[in-house]
Structure 1
Amino acid sequence: MDFDFFTPVNHELVDDFAKDPGIGASLLIHSEASAFPDLEGVKIAVFGVLEDRLAENPTGEPFNFDNIRKSFYQLYPGNWFHKIADLGDIRPGESVEDTFFAVQTVVADLLKKNIIPVILGGSQDLIYGQYRAYDGVEQMVNLVNIDSRFDLGDADKPLSNRSYVGRIVVTKPYNLFNYSNLGYQTYFNSQDEIELMERLFFDAYRLGEVSNDISIVEPVMRDANLVGVDMGAVSAGALGNYRLQSPNGFDGKEICALARYAGISDKVSSFGIYEITSELNFPTSTMLVAQMLWYFIEGVNFRKNENTISAKKEFIKYQVPIEDEVLVFFKSPVSGRWWIEIPFMSPESNKLKRHTLLPCTEGDYIDACNQILPERWYKTKRKNEI
């Protein structure tokens, strides 16, 4: 780990919670008064990235994460058994590319140590650095973005917080297998982008769909490797700042439920909360981000570890003939969760070999029994064939 990337947490903030029974007293904190923490045995590492130069509408005001930490440190931990560290903040590099390099390097190093990076970020283009940290992994990865916009943009134009997914898709090495957007609002997205999402067989769930039944996106989160949250997907009311542009969005309970889904997913290995700017420096906003952190960590502590070969041997198998296919479903007797098998088409890239079981819902199994092909199964199968 390159310690030089980080500035320590304000020592006064650490001292305030050192003797408190809350989370702040149990964290391993990189503070001004102590050395960089020993990461041996650490499962989750939180750090901030103070970068927003590529925001399309920058506020121009300085921001920090002290108030988020203050809100987080005062919360009480759940029945947790994993060690958690707060590494401090990555300051902006001389160029934005330098900041991306720092994020990529830190995330990649933590992944190698089997530590889950949790990033508090400025503008959401930072997710590009988070994604590039997976360049060295053996399999292709799935990105889930909780956002009111797709952020596809034009890959030929400069990167920004509204235009980075297109760059992820077209830039080598090609690591992205699937991109899923949760909570998009149609009026923020052009018809061209909506049609492009369809042509690329990416997943998109409208805000209304998710709010109506939030459980429909649990399988999507269960299949994710990295997750990003744009705080712009949260309603202005929930953030306690009615000067913000969007009156619609997820409420506090919904965004915390999504954070818990990300945490409880056995596959999610990094989690980022972005668009934390000076506009969110309100007690309600900082407490909501702190509670999102709490729910993600809570989820990690309740993982079932059902991605292991031994766990899958215990799954109950169901076969459903439909059209000219035989769909194969699996159900975990431990968690009651469902998967559907994806036929492997032997493409040239061996990075796809691990995409054999796709998380799904019991409703998908019931639909198949009624001769309705699950949409996510169809999209994933098509991506395997391309």
Structure 2
Amino acid sequence: MSETNIKLYLKPVDFSKWKPASWVQSKFSLGKLLEKNQTKLPLEKADIVLLGMEEDRNAVVKGSAKAPNKIRQHLYNLNRISPRFKILDLGNIRIGKTVNDSYYALRDVCSNLVEQGKTVVLLGGSQDLTFGITKAFEANPFNLVNIDPKFDFKKGIKSINSETYLNFIIERQPNLYAQTILGYQNYFVDSLELDYSHELGSELKRLGEIRYDMSNIEPYMRDADVLSFDINAIRLLEAPAQYFGSPNGLYAEEACQIGHYAGMADQLKVAGFFNLVPRLDHDDLSSKLFAQVVWHFLEGAYYRKVETPSKKTDEFNEFLLEIDDIDLPLTFYQSQKTGRWWMKISDEEDTREHIIACTEDDYRLAAQNEIPDRWWKNIRKLNRMQNK
């Protein structure tokens, strides 16, 4: 699909309708930079692309179709990060005659932009749009990370909505390599759902676990291809424009920190922000917060340092650890620049290698002759993909 064909899917932003807040120094704002880039930066030279999608027909509670432009309004007021930031806002994807048409339009646009090496930021809309995003990865394995207070799948359900879309991703996307849910709250999750998630090999981190040390979510983000962020994961007091409405959840600064880690992620290709219902908001508090989460994502992406451990570079320390229950030594890598860690895993025949992000704690466990949980889970995933 050419750039011309992509534009057939889009409704461009009309920057004449954006009125900066009274406190904004307009010439230093992201909105002014995006307005300038709209005419001066060709798509092939952009690193990051903003999109909106006013689609909520499969939402459990309607209203999030109004969110993309509301988030934009406040995002544009924020700092431009850098005057040389190669970012474009391509506007909103036109919704289809049916919701399925919208999913396929989203697939086509994301697929094209990802193939061009762009990072896509999608302002939703309801979270079932995640299904449309993942359809852009039907030809390649991908990792999905969800920020969510609960699990958006229900075993046996055949109709898709904003709380069952994971059924369709897990059951219909054979190239899903890994799926992670961060920030879930255990009182919203049944034990059978937990058991099923473990059977699927999902990575699960409760709200309390990630709050204890937010840096531990970074490796999950580093390996992600798609991020799906549900505003319902944030506590109601700080994000009132949500239909779920829990007194517990992420604090505003934690949500921004997640956005920053996601932006820094080496291979993240599409990040979606969903389920904000403007009519439930107070003083645009939720729109302002999601705008700030997106801004932190953009800042992280601007300063992203892509690192790939390799035998051909001297920028990594390599550690080989012998473990009693494993035939081959466990191999760990540590970046000399950033201090980040990776581990190498191989399939049952030792014919296929895969390097995954990990933490220093994983290395320390292995050094004590204990096999890290991430190693076991990824071995199972690698062998499952090999047997498909």
What TM-score do the two structures reach when normalised by structure 2? 0.89
Q: CA separation in 2, counterparts of 1:280 and 1:165?
A: 27
Partner residue in 2 for 1:302:
303
What is the 5 A alignment of 1:100-249? 100-137=103-140, 140-154=141-155, 156-171=157-172, 174-240=174-240, 245-249=245-249
Assess, with a 3 A threshold, how the Cα gap between structure 1 residues 229 and 81 changes in structure 2: closer, same or farther.
Answer: same
Residue 10 (structure 1) shift: 3.7
Q: Does 1:24 align with 2:31?
A: yes
CA distance in 2, matches of 1:308, 1:79: 29
Unaligned runs of 5+ in 2: none
1:120–1:276 CA contact under 8 A, matched in 2? no
Letter matched to residue 209 of structure 2: E
What's the offset of the Cα at 1:292?
1.0
Matched, 1:379 2:377: yes
Matched AA of 2:267:
K
Q: Which amino acid aligns with 1:360?
A: C
Cα deviation code 1:137-174 (max 9, x no counterpart): 4xx111001111121223651111111222112215x1
| Change in 2 beyond 3 A, CA 1:28/1:344 | farther
Whether 1:285 and 2:286 are equivalent positions in the alignment is: yes
Q: Residues 114 and 108 (structure 1 numbering): CA distance in 2 closer, same or farther, change over 3 Å? A: same
Structure 1 alignment gaps of length 5 or more = none
Counterpart check, 1:266 vs 2:266: yes
| Contact 1:44 1:115 (8 Å CA) reproduced | yes
Backbone CA RMSD of aligned residues: 2.6
Distance in structure 1 (CA, Å) of the matches to 2:34 and 2:348? 46
* Counterpart amino acid of residue 49 in structure 1: M
Q: Deviations over 1:237-278 (max 9, x none)?
A: 111569862111101110111111111111111111111223
Higher deviation after alignment, 292-301 or 273-282: 273-282
TM-score normalised to structure 1 length: 0.89
1:18–1:24 CA contact under 8 A, matched in 2 = no
Change (3 A) 1:312 1:186: farther
Q: Which moved further from structure 2: 37-46 or 253-262?
A: 37-46
Aligned-pair identity in percent equals 32
Instruction: Give 1:357's aligned residue.
Output: 355
Q: Distance in 2 between matches of 1:280 and 1:218?
A: 30
Distance 1:312 1:144 in 2: 29
Offset at residue 344 of structure 1 (A): 2.9
Preserved CA contact (<8 Å) 2:145 2:226:
yes
Report whether the alignment pairs 1:54 with 2:58. Answer: yes
The CA deviation at 1:212 is 1.4
